[in-house]
Structure 1
Amino acid sequence: MTADAPHPSVGSRATDRPGDVSPFALGLLLRRAHWRVAGAMTEALRPLGIELRHFAVLLVLVDRGPTVQRDLGPATGSDKAGVMRVVDDLERMGLAVRRPVPGDRRVRAVEITPRGLELFDAAHLAARPPAERLVAGLEAGEREQLTELLTRFAHPPEDDKA
C-alpha cells in the first residue's frame, strides 16, 4: 500500500467536528471540551495569582491532607520537575509548606496553609460564573446528565477494584 492511497476501510478522516464517527471522535471532543473549560478556569484563577497547575496541587492537598511530594505527580498528571516547581511557587506564595516526614529525613510532605485554604475557597467562588456560562446552552437536566456520564467515564467500576 502506498502513502497516497487510502486504506480501503477508511471512510473519512478524523476531525473534531460535530458528527465525526471516527474511532478518535470521543477523544477529540474531550480534548476540545478540556481546552474550553481550562481556558475559562484559567481566567477565573488569574486574578487570584495562581494557575490551574497550582490549583491542581491545592485540590489534592485539600482532598488528601499532607501528601508526600512524589505522590503529587501522579495525582495531578504532572512530572516530578513540574510538581517541584509548582510546590516551590505555592511555598513562595505562602499557600503550602513542605514538612519532614517522621522516620524518613529524605522525604517531605506538602501541606496546605490556612492562606492556601482561603485561596482554595476563593477560587471556587471565582470559578462559579464561568462554570455557569460553560453549561448555559444545556437544557434542563443535561448538566447533571453530562456530569454523571463523565464521572462514570472517568471513574469506571474496574478502577474501584484496584
Structure 2
Amino acid sequence: MTAMAPARTKPDLSFLLDHTSHVLRTRMAAALGEIGLTARMHCVLVHALEEERTQIQLAEIGDMDKTTMVVTVDALEKAGLAERRPSTKDRRARVIAVTERGAAVAAESQRIVDQVHADALGSLSPADREALTRILGLLAQGALDTPSDTSRAARRARQ
C-alpha cells in the first residue's frame, strides 16, 4: 500500500456480497446442471407452477430480459418440461404451462436449490444463519431494494 492509498476502516461490503453471490451461483449452476437445468430454467418452472403466468411476468420475477426469457422457455419446451399455451384468463395472452414431467423436475430442482443453500449456510450456527438471512432480507426489501439508474453497467468485483 502506498502512502497515498486511503486506509480501509470497514470491511468491503461490495466485495463480500459479490464474492459470496458469485460462489453461490457457480455452485447452483453445477448442481442444477447435473439434472440438465440452469438456474433460470428452475426459476421459470417453479414460478410457472405457482399460478398461470405469461412470459413477461416470469421474466420480471426472474429478472430476465425478453431475449433470455425466450431462449429459456425454448429450452424448457425442447426438453418437454413446459409449453406455451393460451391463457385461460385472457385469450389474447399466452402462458407458460409446466408439463407433468416438468413438475417432477421442478420438485427435484427445488430440493437441489435447498441443499445448495443449506450447504452454503452449513458452517454458520443456527442463530447466525437466521440472522444472516433475516438481515439480507431487510436489505433486499429496504436500502438495497432498487438498483440505481446509471448509464455505466455495473461489473463484478475483481477477486
Paired letter, 2:67: A
Partner Cα distance (2:44, 2:97) in 1: 10
Separation in 2, partners of 1:51, 1:139:
30
| 8 A Cα contact 1:66 1:112, kept in partner | no
- The answer for the alignment partner of 1:154 in structure 2 is 140
What residue in structure 1 maps to residue 65 of structure 2?
79
Write out per-residue CA displacement over residues 97-140 of structure 1, whole angstroms, 9 at most, x where no aligned residue.
111136543x3111222211111111122344433321222123
Q: Is the 8 A contact 1:40 1:131 kept in 2?
A: no
Corresponding residue SS for 2:129: helix
Structure 2 partner of 1:101 = 87
Provide the secondary structure at the position in 1 that maps to 2:72.
helix
Amino acid in structure 2 at the alignment position of 1:57? V
Match of 1:56 in 2: 43
Q: Any residues of structure 2 matched to 1:10-159 within 5 Å, and which? A: 11-12=6-7, 19-20=10-11, 25-63=12-50, 65-101=51-87, 103-105=90-92, 107-156=93-142
Aligned-residue Cα RMSD (Å) equals 2.6
| Maintained 8 Å contact 1:42/1:52 | yes
Alignment partners' CA distance in 1, 2:126 and 2:86: 50
Post-superposition offset of 1:12: 4.5
SS at match of 1:77: coil
* 1:31 CA drift (Å): 1.5
Structure 1 vs Structure 2: percent identity of aligned residues? 27
Q: Which runs of 4+ in 1 moved over 4 A?
A: none
Greater length-normalized contact order (CA 8 Å, ≥ 6 residues apart): 2
Q: TM-score by structure 1 length?
A: 0.74
Greater gyration radius: 1
Aligned counterparts of 1:132 and 1:70: Cα–Cα separation in 2: 31
State the TM-score, normalizing by the size of structure 2. 0.75
Give the letter aligned to residue 109 of structure 2. Answer: A
For the 8 Å contact 2:32–2:109, the answer to whether it is kept is: yes
